[in-house]
């Protein structure tokens, strides 16, 4: 393996700027707040930062509704701040990945305003359909509840919005629109950005004959109608030729609806994306109604998702590994035990993240085991998806107390509470009241306290990240799962160039026996417990064994 692409060797740290660090006492995280924390980010041992959208936006969907692709969100700072942040990252040998939202714009973007006035060439920058105010063109549901079609009285027709009604879908069938988006990409790549995270890239080609969906299963509707459209591969290939091939840039596509069977179509070495976020595990507990229709999941299913996707990416392409982000509950609350075993299970999840094939993406705060928050009333939710979900639920007669259970289990507010830096007021995030309340446990869970504690999740995260770098078998090695049916144990082997590692993870509150395979591995490299019991795994214990072949 001579000089593999940097993004294959990288560990990526995801920052949701609004909730990371406030530098100017307005209660909102900003770019100068990130600049203040560059040494902290570097101390983690990560190699790149992914910033959620930083562009001008009415903030209907946390910045994923962009009204000017060439301007920064004013409350985040100035272009000079951006340039200083980029320089600060590069000085520390850190790469910057920005988040481009190209499946839709804000309805406050001038393109949309000109489009709805029927001004060429903007008319075809979006999907407009005739109809009457009470009869949408088809039965497509929005990701955010209700119809995916909005009647625009001024224009006298409907427009498509797979997400909120303030996020009209951009019509990639229109060449002039694609050229405008390529200009946006070049502008930010010319500034020296190292990577692009491409929001919902799987949906830029959709079923533009707009048939009704024939399924009540929302994730099936995404797969069959919104994503994987007939020109998806062509559009990605064109972006490669028109833009990406002219830069040293990494592209990672967010691919809801993409499957193990078709993923490699979009990861072609010359014509595709470099990497993909798949959602096999992230939808594992979503029933037909989507996020707020939770269903039980099993360890067997969870392991199967990794087995299937690792097998896909062993053939070709390159995967990403994540267990949480700004769209999902905190990983320790969702997959671990955030009460009795918060520290152990957050360390175990970091172990999985850093020992799986594919580029690991760690979400800010997960390196210290931040947990879900608790909404005590729906008025407290600041997320459009959760608020719209509540509108739907209330219309269906679901009481607030019941919907709050779903929102607190699966909602996106969980991931957007401010990062907990210290035990001081507002958790050291700001000297003003934060835009979103800090999690009540900030005095117990914060960076300052963990930096001083050799047994903390933060210390463990740094150690496991260094271990991944020392043992390149974890980056380039094969994957072989063992114990595929065991309901508590997740164990797998990695092998590359005469080194074999065995990872054993006890995803339970119970003590479990070690798998027989351990007997072949004389050396335990790391455990998340103070001592190693030779025969048993403690609750939420993670171990990595090695031997030289
Ligand atoms: O929330 C989801 C439905 O369960 C996710 O599937 C998510 O909405 C979807 O994967 C797309 O997410 C991206 O695009 C959205 C934005 O709200 C998300 O924050 C972003 O990650 C629209 O831009
Ligand atoms: Ca601020």
In DSSP notation, 250-274 reads EEEEE-TT--TTTGGGG--TTTS-S
Can you name the residues that pair with 527 across neighbouring β-strands?
A: 543
Question: Is 9 annotated as catalytic?
Answer: no
pLDDT at 193 over 90: yes
| Ligand having the closest approach to the CA of 19 | 2
3-state helix, strand, coil in the chain (%, to 5): 35, 20, 45
Q: How far, in Å, from the CA of 36 to the mean position of ligand 2?
A: 12
Among the residues of 52-174, which ranges form H helices?
79-91, 110-116
- Give me the pLDDT at residue 42, please: 98
Q: Three-state DSSP class for 545?
A: strand
| Ligand having the closest approach to the CA of 290 | 1
Residue that the structure tokens 């790391």 belong to: 526
DSSP state of 518: G
Q: Are strands 499-506 and 489-496 parallel, antiparallel or unpaired?
A: antiparallel
| Pick among 3.30.1330.60, 3.40.50.1820, 3.40.50.720, 3.20.20.80: CATH of 6-105+175-377+417-457 | 3.20.20.80
The span from the CA of 70 to the CA of 511, in Å, is: 54
| Residue 502 CA: distances (Å) to CA of 341, 419, 483, 523, 544 | 23, 33, 12, 10, 6
Q: Which protein residue's CA is at the shortest distance from atom 12 of ligand 1?
A: 200
CB 20 within 8 A of CB 31: no
The span from the CA of 140 to the CA of 160, in Å, is: 9
Task: Give the confidence band of 275 by pLDDT, cuts at 50, 70, 90.
Answer: very high
Q: Which protein residue's CA is at the shortest distance from atom 7 of ligand 1?
A: 327
Q: How far, in Å, from the CA of 327 to the mean position of ligand 1?
A: 6
State which ligand 1 atom lies nearest to the alpha carbon of 222: 6
Mean pLDDT of 110-131: 97
> Of the ranges 203-217, 278-292, 499-513, which one carries the lowest mean pLDDT score?
278-292
Active-site pick, 169, 199, 483, 493? 199
pLDDT at 2 over 70: no
Instruction: Summarize pLDDT for 461-491 with one digit per residue, the tens.
Output: 999 999 999 999 999 999 999 988 899 999 9
Question: Is 254 annotated as catalytic?
Answer: yes
Q: Which protein residue's CA is at the shortest distance from atom 15 of ligand 1?
A: 64
| Ligand having the closest approach to the CA of 363 | 1
The span from the CA of 460 to the CA of 302, in Å, is: 24
Mean pLDDT of 160-164: 98
Task: Give the confidence band of 3 by pLDDT, cuts at 50, 70, 90.
Answer: low
| Pocket lining: 144 vs ligand 1, CB cutoff 6 Å | no
Domain ranges of the chain: 6-105+175-377+417-457, 110-160, 378-416, 475-548
Task: Give the confidence band of 5 by pLDDT, cuts at 50, 70, 90.
Answer: very high
Q: How far, in Å, from the CA of 203 to the mean position of ligand 1?
A: 11
Q: Which residues of 89-112 are buried (b: 16+ CB within 10 A; e: fewer)?
A: beeeebbbbbbbbbbbbbbbbebb
Stated as kind and residue range, the H or E segment containing 542 is: strand 542-548
Q: Which protein residue's CA is at the shortest distance from atom 10 of ligand 1?
A: 256
Q: Which residues contact 495 (CB under 8 A, 6 or more apart)?
A: 473, 477, 478, 480, 501, 549
Instruction: Locate the DSSP E strands across 450-541.
Output: 478-482, 489-496, 499-506, 512-513, 523-527, 536-537
| Pocket lining: 291 vs ligand 1, CB cutoff 6 Å | yes
Q: Which protein residue's CA is at the shortest distance from atom 11 of ligand 1?
A: 200
Q: How far, in Å, from the CA of 66 to the mean position of ligand 2?
A: 19
Can you name the residues that pair with 314 across neighbouring β-strands?
A: none
Q: What six digits make up the tokens of 324?
A: 């949480």
Q: How far, in Å, from the CA of 319 to the mean position of ligand 1?
A: 19
CATH number corresponding to 475-548: 2.60.40.1180
- Give me the pLDDT at residue 483, please: 86
Q: Which of 262, 157, 243, 164 is nearest to 205 (CA)?
A: 262
Q: Three-state DSSP class for 241?
A: helix
pLDDT at 47 over 70: yes
Record the pTM. Answer: 0.98
The span from the CA of 250 to the CA of 244, in Å, is: 8
CB 48 within 8 A of CB 8: no
pLDDT at 319 over 70: yes
| Pocket lining: 256 vs ligand 1, CB cutoff 6 Å | yes
Q: What six digits make up the tokens of 185?
A: 């990409």
Instruction: Summarize pLDDT for 257-270 with one digit per residue, the tens.
Output: 999 999 999 999 99
CB 211 within 8 A of CB 138: yes
- Give me the pLDDT at residue 418, please: 98
Q: How far, in Å, from the CA of 26 to the mean position of ligand 2?
A: 5
- Give me the pLDDT at residue 494, please: 97
Task: State which fold the 110-160 domain adopts.
Answer: Oligo-1,6-glucosidase; domain 2 (3.90.400)
The span from the CA of 297 to the CA of 460, in Å, is: 28
Task: Give the confidence band of 548 by pLDDT, cuts at 50, 70, 90.
Answer: confident
CB atoms within 10 A of CB 533: 12
| Pocket lining: 16 vs ligand 1, CB cutoff 6 Å | no
Active-site pick, 61, 81, 254, 367? 254
Residue that the structure tokens 């949701």 belong to: 16
| Ligand having the closest approach to the CA of 200 | 1
Q: Which protein residue's CA is at the shortest distance from atom 19 of ligand 1?
A: 327
Q: Three-state DSSP class for 4?
A: coil
| Pocket lining: 255 vs ligand 1, CB cutoff 6 Å | no
The span from the CA of 441 to the CA of 450, in Å, is: 14
């Amino acid at each position: 393996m001579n000089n593999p692409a940097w993004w294959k060797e990288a560990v990526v740290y995801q920052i949701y700027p609004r909730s990371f660090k406030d530098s100017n006492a307005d209660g909102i995280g900003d770019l100068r707040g990130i600049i203040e924390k560059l040494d902290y980010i570097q101390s983690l041992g990560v190699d790149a930062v992914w910033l959620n959208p930083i562009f001008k936006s009415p903030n209907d969907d946390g910045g994923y509704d962009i009204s000017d692709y060439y301007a920064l969100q004013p409350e985040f700072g100035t272009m000079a701040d951006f340039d200083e942040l980029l320089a600060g990252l590069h000085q520390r040998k850190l790469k910057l990945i920005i988040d481009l939202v190209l499946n839709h714009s804000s309805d406050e973007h001038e393109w949309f305003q000109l489009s709805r006035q029927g001004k060429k060439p903007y008319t075809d920058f979006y999907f407009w359909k005739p109809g009457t105010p009470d009869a949408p063109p088809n039965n497509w549901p929005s990701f955010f509840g209700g119809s995916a079609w909005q009647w625009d009285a001024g224009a006298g027709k409907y427009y498509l919005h797979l997400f909120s009604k303030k996020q009209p879908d951009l019509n990639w069938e229109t060449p002039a629109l694609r050229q405008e988006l390529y200009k946006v990409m070049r502008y930010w790549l010319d500034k020296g950005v190292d990577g692009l995270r491409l929001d919902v890239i799987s949906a830029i080609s959709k079923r533009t004959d707009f048939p009704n969906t024939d399924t009540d299963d929302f994730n099936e509707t995404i797969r069959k109608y919104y994503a994987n459209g007939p020109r998806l591969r062509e559009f990605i290939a064109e972006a490669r030729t028109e833009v990406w091939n002219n830069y040293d840039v990494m592209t990672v596509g967010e691919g809801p609806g993409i499957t193990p069977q078709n993923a490699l179509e979009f990861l072609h070495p010359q014509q595709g994306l470099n990497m993909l976020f798949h959602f096999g595990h992230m939808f594992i507990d979503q029933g037909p109604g989507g996020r707020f229709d939770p269903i039980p999941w099993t360890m067997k299913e969870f392991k199967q998702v990794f087995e299937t996707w690792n097998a896909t990416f062993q053939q070709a392409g390159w995967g990403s590994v994540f267990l949480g982000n700004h769209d999902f509950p905190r990983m320790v609350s969702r997959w671990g035990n955030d009460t009795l075993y918060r520290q152990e299970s957050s360390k175990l999840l970091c172990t999985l993240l850093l020992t799986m094939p594919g580029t690991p993406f760690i979400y800010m705060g997960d390196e210290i085991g931040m947990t879900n928050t608790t909404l005590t009333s729906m008025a407290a939710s600041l997320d459009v998806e959760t608020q719209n979900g509540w509108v739907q639920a209330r219309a269906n007669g679901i009481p607030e107390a019941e919907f709050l259970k779903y929102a607190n289990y699966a909602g996106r507010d969980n991931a957007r509470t401010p990062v907990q830096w210290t035990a001081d007021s507002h958790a050291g995030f700001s000297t003003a009241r934060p835009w979103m309340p800090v999690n009540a446990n900030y005095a117990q869970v914060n960076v300052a306290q963990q930096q001083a504690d050799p047994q903390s999740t933060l210390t463990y995260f740094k150690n496991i990240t260094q271990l991944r770098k020392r043992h390149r078998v974890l980056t380039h090695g094969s994957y072989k799962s063992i114990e595929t049916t065991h309901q508590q144990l997740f164990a797998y082997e990695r092998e590359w160039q005469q080194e074999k590692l065995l990872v054993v993870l006890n995803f339970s509150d119970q003590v479990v026996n070690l798998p027989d395979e351990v007997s072949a591995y004389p050396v335990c490299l790391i455990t998340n417990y103070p001592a190693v019991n030779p025969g048993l795994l403690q609750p939420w214990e993670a171990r990595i064994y090695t031997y030289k072949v």
